[in-house]
Structure 1
Amino acid sequence: MLIAQITDLHIGFDPGNPAEYNRKRLDEVLDVLIEGPNRPDLLIATGDISDRGDADSYRRLATAFSRCPFPVWPSVGNHDLRDNFHERFPGFDDGNGFVQYTIELPELRLVTIDTLEEGRHGGAFCDIRAAWLEAELQKLPHKPTYIIMHHPPIESGIEWMNTHADEPWVATFTNVVRRHDQVRGLICGHLHRSVTVAWEGRTIAICSSTAPQVALDLRPIDEDRPDDRPMIVAEDPAYALHRWNGRELVSFYDHAGAHTMLAKYDANLQPLVRELKAERPG
């Protein structure tokens, strides 16, 4: 089972431009997923799929996703607006207006939750959403489960993008997860960087964005003293592949830019491949 992830698409950053830079970057990633050697079984889009939450951006996203030969499962982040999302992507409502649902796969479950509070950049997770998650996790307590969400509940070190551990929503979410050992990990976006972190005995896998990335600068930032540091950088549009091998989810991170080949599998490398495979049992 191969699960592709894209995040932080920010379609509509340049409204009214059919040749928008962020749309071009999204299309480059979709080209790789559709035409490359690692075509996924499904694609998850983990929030901030639009930049302003406007109806036209969701229309353009639906058009972009329509060419995918695999199902696409979208969710929301802090730049999205639920009403416009639901209008273009119906069927992802948890019954309370939140974008929460479960993807049932043969060997595991992907439970998508909504961490959006409209008008706020940081995450949110209220008692209503927590009750839905609690009930959903109680359904199959022995099946390996991963939670899909936009905001990672951790302090990343990129100070202006941090989540503080004392934010109430983090405690609300964490208290639910602690009661369910089948939750193996979280799959997140929001940071515009690829990050992996241990959390509550689980793994958080955070994917870089298809839109331009947040600069990797771990120095403190002073809101009263602009210092001309880079904030956003135009690295290649990125994606993740999460491969379920029957035991655990293995996460890979790649980009849609050029990859210079330095070696290829030909007769010269055939002995090495045979030697490596012969070392393994079975």
Structure 2
Amino acid sequence: MLIAQITDIHLGFDPDNPAEYNRKRLDDVLDVLIDGPNRPDLLLATGDITDRGDEESYRRLATAFSRCPFPVWASVGNHDLRDNFHARFPGLDDGNGFVQYAIDLPELRLVTIDTLEEGRHGGAFCDARAAWLDAELAKAPNKPTYVVMHHPPIESGIEWMNTHPDEPWVKTFTDVVNRHRQVRGLICGHLHRSVTVAWEGRTVAICSSTAPQVALDLRPIDENRPDDRPMIVAEDPAYALHRWNGRELVSFYDFAGAHTMLAKYDPNLQPLVRELKAERPT
């Protein structure tokens, strides 16, 4: 089972431009997923899929996804608006208006939650969402499960993008997850950087964005003293591939730019491949 992830598309950042930069970056990633060697079984789009939450951006996004030969499961981040999301991506409502749902796969479950609080950049997770998650996780206590969400509940070190571990929503979410031992990890976005971290005995896999990335700068930042540091950088559009091998989820991070080939599998490398495979149990 191969699960692709894209995140932080921010479609509509340049709303009046039919050749919008963020749309081109999205299309470049979709080209790789559709035509490359690792076509996934499904694609997760983990929030901030639009920049302003407007109807036209969701329409354009649905058009972009329509060429995918695999299902696309979208969710919301802090730049999205639920009403416009639901109008273009129906059927992903938990019954209370939140974008929450489960994907039941043969060997594992993906449970998507909604961490959006409209008007706030950081995450949120209220009692109603927590009750839904608690009940949903209780439905399959013995099946490996990963929670899919936009905001990671961790302090990354990129100070202006941090989530503080004492934020109330983090405690609410953590209390629910810790009641369900089958939850193996979290799949997140939001940081515009690829990050992997251990959290509560689980793995948090955070994917870089298809939109431009947040600069990797771990120095403290002073809100009262702009220092001209880079904030956003134009690295290649990124994606993740999460491969379920029957035991665990293995996460790979790649980008859609040019990859210079330094070696290829030809007769010269065939002996090495044979030697490496012969070392493993059959």
TM class, shorter-length: over 0.9
Quote the residue 1:94 is aligned against: 94
Quote the residue 1:29 is aligned against: 29
Q: In 1, distance between residues paired with 2:131 and 2:17?
A: 41
Quote the residue 2:121 is aligned against: 121
Correspondences of 1:59-98 after superposition (within 5 Å): 59-98=59-98
Q: In 1, distance between residues paired with 2:232 and 2:138?
A: 41
- Residue 38 of structure 1: how far off its partner (Å): 0.1
Quote the residue 2:272 is aligned against: 272
Q: Which amino acid counterpart does residue 214 of structure 2 have in structure 1?
A: V
Q: In 2, distance between residues paired with 1:19 and 1:227?
A: 33
Q: In 2, distance between residues paired with 1:89 and 1:187?
A: 20
Q: Which amino acid counterpart does residue 32 of structure 1 have in structure 2?
A: V
- Residue 77 of structure 1: how far off its partner (Å): 0.1
Q: In 1, distance between residues paired with 2:173 and 2:144?
A: 18
Q: Which amino acid counterpart does residue 96 of structure 1 have in structure 2?
A: N
CA offsets, 1:153-208, max 9 Å, x none? Answer: 00000000000011000000000000000000000000000000000000000000
CA offsets, 1:229-267, max 9 Å, x none? Answer: 000000000000000000000000000000000000000
Quote the residue 2:172 is aligned against: 172
> Secondary structure in 1 aligned to 2:5?
strand
Q: In 1, distance between residues paired with 2:90 and 2:16?
A: 24
CA offsets, 1:21-47, max 9 Å, x none? Answer: 000000000000000000000000000
Quote the residue 2:252 is aligned against: 252
2:158 pairs with 1:158: yes
- How well do the aligned residues superpose, as a CA RMSD in angstroms? 0.2
Q: In 2, distance between residues paired with 1:16 and 1:56?
A: 10
Q: In 1, distance between residues paired with 2:187 and 2:132?
A: 18
> Structure 1 length as normaliser, TM-score?
1.00
Q: Which amino acid counterpart does residue 207 of structure 1 have in structure 2?
A: C
- Residue 17 of structure 1: how far off its partner (Å): 1.1
- Residue 136 of structure 1: how far off its partner (Å): 0.2
Structure 2 unaligned blocks of 5 or more: none
Identical aligned residues as a percent: 89
Quote the residue 1:208 is aligned against: 208
Aligned pair count reads 282
Q: In 1, distance between residues paired with 2:47 and 2:160?
A: 19
> Secondary structure in 2 aligned to 1:4?
strand
Q: Which amino acid counterpart does residue 231 of structure 2 have in structure 1?
A: M
Q: In 2, distance between residues paired with 1:17 and 1:116?
A: 27
Quote the residue 1:107 is aligned against: 107
